[in-house]
Amino acid sequence: MKGSVGTSIALHTLVLGWAMISLSAPAPLTVADVEAFPVDIVPIESVTQMQQGDKSAPMKETPSPKETKNQKAVENAENAGENDIDLKTPPTPTKKPVPIEAAAAPKPVERPAPTPTPEQNDVKEIAPEETAPKPVETASLPQPKPEPTPPKPEPTPPKPEPMPPKPEAAKPTPAPVQAENSSETGELPPTPPIPMAKPQPPKPEPPKEEAKPVEKPVEKPPEKKPEPPKPTETAKADTKATDASKPTDKKEGKKQDAAKSSSSQKSDFNADQIAALLDKRDASGGGAKRSATPASTGSTKPSNGAKLSLSEMDALRGQISNNWSTIAGIEGLQGMIIRVHMRLDQSGAIVGEPEVSSSGGSDTARRTMESSARRAVLRSSPFKNLPADKYDSWSEVVVNFDPSELGL
Amino acid sequence: MEQVALEAATHDVSLWALFMQAGWVVKLVMIGLMGASVWTWAIVIDKYVNFAKARRQFDQFEQVFWSGQSLEELYRTLSDRQNVGMAAIFVAAMREWKKSFERGARAPIGLQMRIDRAMDVTISREAESFEARLGSLATIGSAGPFIGLFGTVIGIMTSFQAIAGSKSTNLAVVAPGIAEALLATAIGLVAAIPAVIAYNKFMGDAGKLSGRMEGFADEFSAILSRQIDEKLQPRQAAQ
């Protein structure tokens, strides 16, 4: 027995010794140093109702786009940015302005930009106004001109300030031409629409040529302004010009008209595009909405995160149910739900066909109710009383109806 | 102190370190289980050797016994030796036979009974020696895991107390204490599993050997009974 105990002890020592050596330190788990990946479960509302902000900015209580330096407020601007015009394109990071000489050139261009639409009208008005004194010199018919001018003396005063450089630049050249014109203008009155007809080669060749050289160098900037106006505006200008047909003898009047007509022509092949091509400014997108607070996380899409309130939703629903011609005595309406999916434009009118689907109830009743729902929806287009600032949330609407709630 | 041990343990998780950082109760349990394991294997080796030897001796003896050699001669060669197993039974029976005839026993039934008793006693003594210490194997086999579990529970208790003291639930703090505690269960299993297997095996072997001895005893008893009848009948006839 002693021998076997000794053997046993020897065996155990051997095994333990081997275990100490070979199993002494199990290889430590080499865990790859992976950063924990945070996953948030976000309700869909926080995406669809996200307010405009800056994606790369840190999170804050209220989303806000990058702080803008340009604090000139632009009304109804939706897109954040430093621009004076509200553009949909996202703001591009400004690069180093290397060519300083080039930077000088854009300046005159920028000036017309700030006040797009109103100025344009002013320009037209100035023309007759400035022409007003001149008729006296040229002894052409002065009576009709005072008439258009009286209503617009107020807007004109500010004009002279920004304009001075141009008229001065224009004046020197027109001066000699004016003399020639005076003789021609005597003939011109009977042909008032001539400046308009610039594209038409036949008659107006002499005035056009006179106007052209002057116009090209100086009037370029004003051409930019006419971009926004619609054809109707230019038409107005035309009528004005015809009203003041006599002032055509005036260099200025002609210039304006010619500019107008040229711009109206250009609008046929997308003046915006050409203006954009001619635009030598830095390609800085961005809107004109100002932000005073530092940037914080939000969506890049301009949105105020508003959702249709319950009462507004009810109002929409009410408009449909008001137009719902109820059909009495339909059976199988129990548990029926009619679902109307429609797209609306800014005015509240339906775009395309509303999609109507339903579930529950009998087949025939469902078919009847679907068609009556479609009729009701189409009849109640355009929808009224939808808040314009929440267009994002009601551009696509899904309304559910329970026929039993409609009193059918 | 536990905290210090836990902090140190984060760097060293070798067996020896695990043992050294354990509490004294767990250490005692581990040492006891190691002793039990040593004892188990000592018994295993001892029994294995003994049983093999016994089996060999049985075979040899049976060979000699059934070779037709005179029982008197066989007794003479064996009587002055230290005998085990079948030889011991044979010697015991022969001794009883001799004693009875030297003193001139008269009752054949009483002689037969005495010889059987002597053989039974020898069988039970031999069987006892075969089964000696197998009981401790059974004990180690059944109690080993429990003792190990006790060590584990104590170890985990102390390590949880240490965690409560260090106020950290970091796995690096918790793990060494638990590993150390589990070591006790591991040692318990290491001791118990061979013990259970060996116990079952050696109990079976011991049963077989005793069966063989009993078989031999019965056969030898039959032979002796015949001899008694043969020797006593002429005497009775002579009377």
Domain chopping of chain B, boundaries = 2-233
> Which residues of chain A neighbour B38 with C-beta distances below 8 Å?
5, 8-9, 12
Tell me: the pLDDT tens digits for A300-319?
665 555 677 778 888 888 88
Residues A121 and A157 in one domain: yes
Nearest CA to B18 out of B4, B3, B8 is that of B8
Domain ranges, residue A228: 115-278
Query: Nearest residue of A to residue B13 by CA position?
Result: A25
Mutate to test the interface with B, among A24, A29, A31 (most CBs of B within 10 A): A24
- Distance between CA B5 and CA B161 in Å, rounded? 13
> Which residues of chain B neighbour A23 with C-beta distances below 8 Å?
14-15
Choice between A394 and A61, residue whose per-residue pLDDT is larger: A394
> Which residues of chain A neighbour B44 with C-beta distances below 8 Å?
4, 8
Residues A235 and A248 in one domain: yes
Residues A372 and A260 in one domain: no
Tell me: the pLDDT tens digits for A174-222?
444 444 444 444 444 444 444 444 444 444 444 444 444 444 444 444 4
Residues A153 and A256 in one domain: yes
Nearest CA to A354 out of A334, A325, A333, A379 is that of A379
ipTM of the complex as predicted: 0.74
Choice between A130 and B36, residue whose per-residue pLDDT is larger: B36
Domain assignment of residue A390, yes or no: yes
- Distance between CA A131 and CA B221 in Å, rounded? 158
Residues A138 and A46 in one domain: no
Is A325's Cβ below 8 Å from some Cβ in B?
A: no
Shortest distance, CA A38 to any CA of chain B (angstroms): 20
B199 pLDDT band (50/70/90 cuts)? very high
Residues A131 and A272 in one domain: yes
Residues A120 and A268 in one domain: yes
Residues A171 and A253 in one domain: yes
Query: Nearest residue of A to residue B12 by CA position?
Result: A25
A133 pLDDT band (50/70/90 cuts)? very low
Q: Report the alpha-carbon angle A391-A393-A396, nearest 5.
A: 90
Domain assignment of residue A110, yes or no: no
Domain assignment of residue A104, yes or no: no
> Which residues of chain A neighbour B34 with C-beta distances below 8 Å?
12
Please tell me the total count of domains within chain A: 3
Q: With an 8 Å Cβ cutoff, are B42 and A8 in contact?
A: yes
Which positions 165-224 of A are in contact with B (Cβ < 8 Å)?
none
Q: Which residues pair with A357 in a beta bridge?
A: A339
Domain assignment of residue A335, yes or no: yes
Domain assignment of residue A195, yes or no: yes
Residues A216 and A342 in one domain: no
Average pLDDT, chain B: 83
- Strand A396-401 and strand A350-359: the pairing is unpaired
Residues A146 and A68 in one domain: no
For range A27-53, the mean pLDDT: 73
N-term to C-term CA, chain B: 95
Residues A258 and A119 in one domain: yes
**From A8, A16, A20, residue closest to B45, measured CB to CB:** A8
Q: What is the DSSP letter of B13?
A: -
**From B14, B40, B49, residue closest to A25, measured CB to CB:** B14
Question: Torsions phi, psi of A219, nearest 5?
Answer: -85, 5
Which residues of B make CB contacts under 8 Å with A? Answer: 12-16, 34, 37-46, 49
Residues A198 and A255 in one domain: yes
